[in-house]
Amino acid sequence: MAGLHKSEFSNPVINWVDTRLPIFTMMQKEYGVFPTPKNFNYFWNFGALAMINLVVMIATGIFLAMNYTANVAMAFDSVERITRDVNYGWLLRNVHANGASMFFIIVYIHMFRGMYYGSYKKPRELLWMIGVVILLLMMATAFMGYVLPWGQMSYWGATVITNLFSAIPVVGESIVILLWGGFSVDNATLNRFFSLHYLMPFLITGVVFLHVAALHITGSNNPLGIDVKSEKDTLPFHPYYTIKDAVGMCVYLLVFAVLVFFAPDYLGHADNYIPANPLVTPAHIVPEWYFLPFYAILRSVPSKLGGVILMFGSIAILFVLPWLDTSPVRSAKFRPIYRQLMYVFVIVCVVLGMAGGKPAEGIWVVIGRVCTAYYFLHFLVILPILGKLERPLPLPESISNPVLTRMGGGPLPGGAYAKPMEKQ
């Protein structure tokens, strides 16, 4: 419908703009008075933190690109020059490199949060799926970014990951040659990776916009996993959650700063300070820590195609998670068995990461295989069956009226539940 917006802003300039393009009204609606469940815990900080991290990555990346040279003869030296000669180049580079790690820490916690509290369940299935798309884009971006410094790990990481596609029957080899733009990872590959590495964060920004738009249609889930029943269950986003997010942001910046200033290379590999050499593979080649669980899944299958299928499958399975979990109850708080199994699942993911970081020999092969099996078991067997068998605890009437006794104690006397809520 065409027509001017009736703006309620008193400032004449803001009013003039808002009448023609109601962005101020939109911001006020979506981030000012937006009704948000009042019982968030700090796990609900991680979406906002991921958004901040994306901005940090784009800002530092734009300025790094001003000094980076995407050419096999100069890329390594140009990165060293950034560290040594460019004003604050050491800071930009360390923030950008460690920012990738921070991004994955945040997003993984954000996802485990979603799994624990059932945030992917109806009506938030699409919201969750858009999130998985963001994860895939992030992985591609991070992988291509890691190639740019053109050290040994960059080069051999690029070689190994692009070679995954050679597992595809019949057309695999042609696809790999297409990806490389030649017969090995070379200048053409580096150039296209730089181009795509610069492009993809903006695609991520677009998809994040969809993620937030979908979130603001369904509204946020909450630690109780029950729907908002009335206005009493909510608080305006500002100032309550802007402040709560700001507290989380301070902690996040603190951790980030420790990495950047005291251990900038802790999460990297020393071999990446050796310029790329297409004739010598490093003795122990592993991806960055955030890919290790997937790398472990890849290696645990003694078949080239099988490993690749399982690895991609481990992420693809997340797309259908909303339909694999058959329980109508969202929060693990009211699912005693799921709650225990959720902890097991997190531990399995961490152990997969550890197995991925070790040489593929001895006990770690067995551990990797067992954990890979459990990973798929969790999604394909446990979640569908558990939803039917498990007897959930009684759900609270509303967020303002939580059930306090674990074993379904029924309604409580008047004042008993008001007190603890004040702390939330």
Which of 235, 379, 402, 412 lies closest to 331, judged by CA?
402
- Which of 230/277 has CB closer to other proteins? 230
Q: Is 287 helix (H, G, I), strand (E, B) or coil?
A: coil
Choosing from 53, 60, 119, 234, the residue that interacts with other proteins (CB under 8 A) is 60
The answer to whether residue 238 is catalytic is no
- Listed in sequence order, the DSSP H helices in 117-186 are 125-147, 152-163, 172-180
Residues 126-165 that bind other proteins (CB under 8 A): none
Element (H, E) at 36: strand 35-37
- Which of 229/238 has CB closer to other proteins? 238
Contact window for other proteins (CB under 8 A) among 58-66, 104-112, 186-194, 373-381: 58-66
The answer to whether residue 284 is catalytic is no
Element (H, E) at 236: strand 234-236
Interatomic CA distance for residues 389 and 326, integer angstroms:
10
**DSSP label of 151:** B
Cα dihedral: 354, 58, 106, 49 (round 10): 170
Residues 275-294 that bind other proteins (CB under 8 A): none
Choosing from 238, 304, 339, 369, the residue that interacts with other proteins (CB under 8 A) is 238
Choosing from 33, 73, 217, 380, the residue that interacts with other proteins (CB under 8 A) is 33
How many residues sit close enough to other proteins to count as binding (CB under 8 A)? 18
- Which of 32/181 has CB closer to other proteins? 32
Residue 250, judged by CB atoms within 10 A of its CB (0-12, 13-18, 19+), counts as exposed
The answer to whether residue 216 is catalytic is yes
Choosing from 35, 181, 236, 313, the residue that interacts with other proteins (CB under 8 A) is 236
Interatomic CA distance for residues 145 and 34, integer angstroms:
36
The answer to whether residue 245 is catalytic is yes
Q: Which of 5, 216, 229, 238 is catalytic?
A: 216
Contact window for other proteins (CB under 8 A) among 87-95, 164-172, 173-181, 203-211: 87-95
Interatomic CA distance for residues 31 and 34, integer angstroms:
6
Choosing from 4, 13, 84, 279, the residue that interacts with other proteins (CB under 8 A) is 84
Contact set with other proteins (CB under 8 A): 33, 59-60, 63, 66-67, 81, 84-89, 91-92, 236, 238-239
Q: Which residues are catalytic?
A: 216, 220, 244-245, 288
